[in-house]
Structure 1
Amino acid sequence: MARRPGLSVRVKLTLSYAGFLMVAGALLMAAVWVFLLRYVPDRAMLYNPDDSPDGGVFPIRSTLLHVFVPRAAAVLAFLLVFGLVGGWLLAGRMLAPLTRITNATSRATSGSLSHRIRLPGRRDEFRELADAFDAMLARLEAHVAEQQRFAANASHELRTPLAVSKTLLDVARADPHHDSGALVDRLHAVNTRAIELTEALLLLSRAGGRSSHREHVDLSLLAEEAAETLLPLAETHGVTVETCGDIAATTGSPALLLQLTTNLVQNAIVHNLPAEGTVRVSTGVRADTVVLTVENTGEQLSPQLVPTLTEPFQRGTERLQGDRAGVGLGLAIVKKITEAHDGTLTLAPRPGGGLHLTVELPRRPGDPTATEGRARVDRTERDRRDQSH
């Protein structure tokens, strides 16, 4: 916004201090003069009238006025100078924290987000402003660093299938008698992975926004739907999926929350034991929140590794081979969707191996069924297989 130049805050405070001091001094002088007019007589008689030509009567008020006015003007002039100099120094001292904040803002505007104000002293308005600005800079720096890591990882991940495709085409061009069927199959697999990665990146970008349109959602129904959808994948990996829980009513985007649940269940199935693994999906209700929990068996995970699993392109184990290996964005998408719904995502390693994930979302306001609960529904892979037959 273009603004016309004006006086600085320091000059304004200096003039305000000096003006206030002048007004106070003028009022004091006026009070003294009123006191003199009230209690000092207009004329007085001297004790020895022979020494006075007018019979010993002197005009006291006129004499006082003649003496008082020049000295009062001198006092006011001194107060003016004192107010200007003192106000300038005092305003500079009071505005010193604001100068540091302004300098830090200018450095942040130029791209330096690592600088912090760290204003010393006890808490006041300037210290609270400086602390809030430092916290904002810390969040911005972390966000920018995360975006830079994400861009670098995304570029690397997208470059890999493109490089593989180029290599396959170069080999096929160099050897015209090469098996075209195998080449087409490998190109199809590489292209499928590139498409899945691109779709995951788009979903991750969309999941970070807060949609103004929200609907009533039951997490228990989403958990059952995700388990039913991923049943063939569980059968392929030899994993048993169990769902149980109560009605967990919340508000949000049904599509995004279903994607969240699906990603959690798929991640639990893929990163599991080679055989006879289990995945347990449950929902519950707390005082002001609803909870979705996904727990799976698997390899032993270190406490240092678990917090990094929600970062893009991070995997708990070595890169898996196959068409369902994933692109390393599953839990990153879950985290974004959870934050967009004002919730929290908690990850913890299981003592026997595997992972325990908890998504906690705000409970739907005024939900009459939140405290009633629902009969717990326990379903295993064998039960679903029997029902499908």
Structure 2
Amino acid sequence: MPGSGRLPGSDDRGGPLAEKNADARRGPLRLSVRTRLTALYGGFFLLAGIVLVVVTYVVVSNELPVPAQYLGDGVSLRLGQVMSAEALPANATFSAVPADAASASVERVATAVLTDYRSSTMSTLVLASAIALVVTAALALLFGWFMAGRALRPLHTITSTARRLEAGKLDQRINLDGPRDELKELADTFDSMLDRLAGSFDSQKRFVANASHELRTPLAVQRTLIEVALENPDAGPELTKLGAHLLQTNERSERLIEGLLVLARSDRGLSARAPVRLDKVVRSVVKLTVAQAKDAGVTVEARLRARTVIGDAVLLERLVLNLVSNAISYNVPDGWVSITIGATPALSVRNSGSIVDEVAVPGLFEPFRRGKPDRTGAADHSGLGLSIVRSVARAHDGEVSARANPNGGLTVDVRLPA
């Protein structure tokens, strides 16, 4: 059923193929900006903490007494005399300990005590500093994580707004509140750009709609003049042949103009919504295409169930008509068309036909693209069929996807919110 389409999940709104393409664009796995900022904050804090610990260690080490410098000969001698005198009992009858021996003994004891005190103090300082550094570094990472998230929150707002935007829906704005900083300036610039884009798209759509509407009148006049000329009994064979050719060309131009009008209308969105029974719309379209299916030798089978959607009945009927008409036209003799209404997707149209290259399927949704290689060979189609289907589906907050069937033909799924 070539006419215009995308693979399942390959449209701009996501799906497996879109995710795969996004992964390919992103390349290898990368850390987020928030993670990098947090690591940067924590790294700088850890470096500053290490420098502070080293400086503190050097200062304290220089201030603590060094036994070799603190214990001089005079200090050792006096300590030895005092300790020797105090160590002797009052009624001692033996001679006092020699001063030199007492001084040497005291110096050894004092040196050992000071060395142990210095070593214990420095060890305690290093251990306490390391614990404090680890704890504060963890707190710094946590604080940096929250601060980075707060600083990057406007960027997430900008990103989410950009993801919701598309050509037919440019009504989203960031409207960032906060101080007049770089992020506020970026958000305001983005909103201004969206205003200009919205104005440009609206102007383009109005031009297409107005031009299409204005062209309908001269085409109708031309068709009337051609039909009147063909009814003239004096018209010769050459004039009749030329008139028939002109009439066929005129009808094709009218279908093209009508398709552009529908496309412009659906691109502008829905001005009003109402409950629509999708199964009744499909049943009506099947009746309208009975003659076309009979002439093409195609069997149409519909498996319908009650399904109500909110939208525009006229546009939904055009969506179904384009799908069914394409499925009948791009088929093979004694072929078939299967129409199914379900929950997800809401509408599925499958048909037999020639083998369709999977690579060519995404381009079928583009305007004036047909399954046949020539652009002008399909006189009964304007090349806007699936373009209108996609536009109408998006106007109803839905999406459409297509895939090639293994044995030929296409399957087109239309997803619509309940």
What is the TM-score normalised by the length of structure 1? 0.48
Which protein shows a greater Rg?
2
Give the number of the structure with larger relative contact order, counting CA–CA contacts within 8 Å between residues 6 or more apart. 2
**Counting strand residues as a fraction of each chain, which structure ranks higher?**
1
**Counting helix residues as a fraction of each chain, which structure ranks higher?**
2
